[in-house]
């Protein structure tokens, strides 16, 4: 039978347990895909914290809940109680960590794609998968990037391309006024779209008071190699796909590619060339493009 010290060592290998400044205390990170949690789970967490005299809670930028200043001696009983309630720990080490996402079309008027099913499909298959590096996955339903998805190792951005009916356009300028990129301009008395400036956010489509701007099928732009931290870097576009199922399949392929080719101790951004990203992109475009 293992000693209490041995049990604690096994527990602390989990990425959801983070040592604090005081080594006798730790922070517990809970698993909350997309930051979505129901009232019953919140009540359960609150009761367990009150019973164990733990607090306060920290709502993190990665859409998780962290329990601070937890005595290490309480870990075995506390984790057992969480397990019984169906609440599991998050991740921190070289693995797939908590997947973040904006509300998507469920609530946001600017969203181009739904996100909740996408989160569930990805989280259920790859969360906490052991990797050579830490991999963050983030989803934003439009290019506004509320989840900073392009600064993640794998990002998914929802876009919608405007399709203008120029023969019926009244030239009222509402779409031009709405565009944040100044991509719609007046040339020779007609409104013209500058494709190089357009971010395909879809805002102009919904702004037209006469409903003369249509939109393409929403697309999922998948980027790879983004980086946060001291030297932030936008990810590189891998592919655009038109279905949630294809987006999930591509992300799974990216995860497998990272697992097989990345080296430990380096950021994904810094080793894309060594991993032959261009060749991998050609394969993905050939298969899914």
* Domain at 162-215: CATH code: 3.30.70.20
The predicted pLDDT at position 248 comes to: 98
Which band of pLDDT confidence, cut at 50, 70 and 90, is reported for residue 276?
Answer: very high
3-state secondary structure labels for all residues of the chain: CCCHHHHHHHHHCCCCEEECCCCCEEEEEECCHHHCCCHHHHHHHHHHHHHCCCCCEEECCCCCEEEEEEEHHHHHHHHHHHHHCCCCECCCCCEECCCEECCHHHCCCCCCCCCHHHHHHHHHHHCCCECCCCECEEEECCCCCCCCHHHCCEEEEEECCEEECCCCCCCCCHHHHHCCCCCEEEECCEEEECCCCCCCCCHHHHHCCCCCEEECCCEEEEEECCECCCCCECCEEEEEECCHHHHHHHHHHHHHHHHHHCCCCCCCHHHCCCCCHHHHHHHHHHHHC
Average pLDDT, integer, range 259-288: 96
Confirm whether 4-84 and 100-160+218-288 share one CATH topology: no
Average pLDDT, integer, range 21-36: 91
pTM check: above 0.85: yes
Q: Mind listing the pLDDT tens digit for each residue in 245-270?
A: 999 999 999 999 999 999 999 999 99
The pair phi, psi for residue 257, each rounded to 5°, is -65, -45
The predicted pLDDT at position 279 comes to: 97
Between 114 and 77, the higher pLDDT residue = 114
Q: What is the overall mean pLDDT for the chain? A: 91
Which band of pLDDT confidence, cut at 50, 70 and 90, is reported for residue 234?
Answer: very high
Which band of pLDDT confidence, cut at 50, 70 and 90, is reported for residue 45?
Answer: very high
Q: Mind listing the pLDDT tens digit for each residue in 57-83?
A: 999 999 999 999 999 888 888 888 888
* Domain at 4-84: CATH code: 3.30.70.3340
Domain boundaries, the chain: 4-84, 100-160+218-288, 162-215
Average pLDDT, integer, range 192-212: 91
Distances (CA, A) of 251 to 40, 75, 133, 271, 283: 31, 34, 16, 18, 14
Average pLDDT, integer, range 155-175: 89
Highest CATH level, class, for 100-160+218-288? alpha beta
The predicted pLDDT at position 7 comes to: 59
Q: How many C-beta atoms lie closer than 10 Å to residue 59's C-beta?
A: 11
The predicted pLDDT at position 284 comes to: 98
| % pLDDT > 70, the chain | 95
Which band of pLDDT confidence, cut at 50, 70 and 90, is reported for residue 4?
Answer: low
The predicted pLDDT at position 73 comes to: 86
**CA pseudo-torsion sign 139, 145, 146, 148:** positive
Which band of pLDDT confidence, cut at 50, 70 and 90, is reported for residue 8?
Answer: low
Average pLDDT, integer, range 212-233: 93
Q: Mind listing the pLDDT tens digit for each residue in 125-157?
A: 999 999 999 999 999 999 999 999 999 999 999
């Amino acid at each position: 039978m293992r000693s209490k010290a041995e049990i604690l060592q096994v527990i602390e290998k989990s990425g959801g347990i983070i040592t604090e400044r005081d080594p006798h205390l730790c922070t517990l990170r809970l698993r909350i895909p997309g930051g979505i949690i129901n009232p019953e789970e919140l009540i359960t967490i609150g009761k367990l914290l009150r019973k164990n005299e733990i607090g306060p809670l920290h709502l993190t930028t990665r859409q998780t809940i962290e329990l601070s200043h937890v005595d290490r001696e309480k870990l075995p009983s506390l984790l057992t109680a969480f397990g019984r309630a169906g609440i599991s720990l998050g991740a921190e080490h070289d693995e797939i960590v908590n997947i973040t996402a904006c509300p998507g079309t469920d609530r946001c008027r600017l969203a181009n794609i739904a996100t909740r099913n996408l989160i569930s499909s990805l989280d259920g298959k790859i969360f906490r998968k052991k990797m050579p590096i830490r991999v963050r996955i983030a989803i934003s339903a439009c290019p506004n990037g509320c989840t900073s998805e392009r600064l993640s190792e794998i990002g998914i951005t929802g876009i919608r391309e405007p399709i203008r009916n120029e023969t019926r356009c009244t030239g009222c300028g509402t779409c031009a006024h709405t565009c944040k990129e100044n991509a719609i301009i007046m040339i020779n008395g007609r409104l013209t779209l500058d494709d190089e400036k357009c971010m395909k956010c879809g805002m102009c489509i919904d702004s037209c008071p006469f409903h003369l701007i249509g939109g393409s099928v929403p697309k999922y732009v998948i980027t790879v190699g983004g980086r946060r931290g001291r030297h932030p870097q936008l990810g590189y576009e891998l592919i655009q796909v038109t279905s949630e199922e294809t987006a999930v399949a591509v992300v799974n392929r990216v995860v497998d590619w990272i697992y097989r080719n990345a080296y430990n101790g380096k950021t994904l951004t810094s080793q894309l060339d060594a991993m032959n990203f261009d060749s991998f992109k050609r394969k993905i475009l050939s298969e899914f493009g």
